[in-house]
Amino acid sequence: MTPNLPRLQNVIGSGIVAAVGLWVAYVSYTQQPSEAFLFPRLIATVFVVLALWTFGKACLGWTKVGNGISISQMANLTPGLIVTLIYIFWAAKGLGFYTATPIAFFILLSLYDPASHREVKSWLKRLFITACFVAVMYGLFAKLLKVYTPREIFF
């Protein structure tokens, strides 16, 4: 096992995959009509064997592949991931695509842009990039492709 590989993370990760495999197998072998689950049963059998093998290896610390996630990586990605999930699962539908997208875009840019947060110039630059991006998206999707996105509060 590589020294930087967090064993617990691998156990949790492969444990979740094994649990999904067992659920797939349970559903495939118990649901009716059984004819409809012929192919899923075939897959589920292989799925469970491989998933349990991987889980067993992770528990024994024999996992060789996969570096897991370091604490610093987790700290870096968490704010972005939260913004992304709020944007996709609530804001895009709740506020409308053309309201939620610039907000999410600007927040992500502000969170991860290496430029200073104290300079007015860098904030103006972020605003400008956000405006350009939304204009391009509107031109591409609303005008060119005629995609009617949820509009909700403003647009």
Partner 1 sequence: MEFLYYFGDVFTPINFALLMLGTIGGLILGATPGLSPTMAVALLIPFTFQLEAAQGLILLGAAYTSTVAGGAVSAILLKIPGAPANIATTLDGHTMAQKGEGAKALQLSFLSSAVGGVFGVMLLIFLTPVLAKWALAFGPSHLFWLAILGVTVIGTLDSRSVVKGLLSGCIGLWLSTIGFDDIMGAQRFIFHPSLGGGINIIAALIGLFAIPQVITMFAKGRRNDGAEVITVQKHSILDAMKELMRNKRAMGIGTITGSIIGLIPGVGGQIAGLVAYDQAKKFSPDRDKFGTGHPEGVIAAEAANNAMVGPSLVPLLTLSIPGSPTAAVLLGGLLIHGIFPGTDLFDNHPDVAWTFINSMLIGQILMCVFGLYVAGMAARVAQVPQSVMAAVVLGLAVFGSYSVQSSMGDVYVMAALGVMMYFLERFGFSAAPLVLGLILGPIAEANFIQGAMIARATDGLGPYFLVGPLNIFLIAVVILSVLYSAYMELRTRRYTSKEEIMA
Considering only residues 127-146, where is the footprint of partner 1 by CB under 8 A? 129, 133, 137, 140-141, 145-146
Min dist. Cβ of residue 120 to partner 1 (A) = 18
The candidate with the shortest Cα–Cα distance to 152, out of 100, 107, 106, is 100
Is 69 a binder of partner 1 (CB under 8 A)? yes
Decide: is 147 part of the binding site for partner 1 (CB under 8 A). yes
Find the binding residues for partner 1 in span 92-121 (CB under 8 A).
Answer: 92-93, 97, 101, 104-105, 108-109, 111-114
Could you tell me which residues come within 8 angstroms of residue 34 by beta carbon, excluding any fewer than 6 positions away? none
Burial of 80 (0-12, 13-18, 19+ CB in 10 A): middle
> How many whole angstroms separate alpha carbon 42 and alpha carbon 107?
46
Q: Does 42 bind partner 1 (CB under 8 A)?
A: yes
Binder of partner 1 out of 1, 85, 131, 135 (CB under 8 A): 85
Which residue from 118, 148, 153, 154 is in contact with partner 1, where contact means CB under 8 A?
Answer: 148
Comparison of 33 and 120: residue with beta carbon closer to partner 1 = 33
Angle between helices 38-60 and 7-30 (to 10 degrees): 160
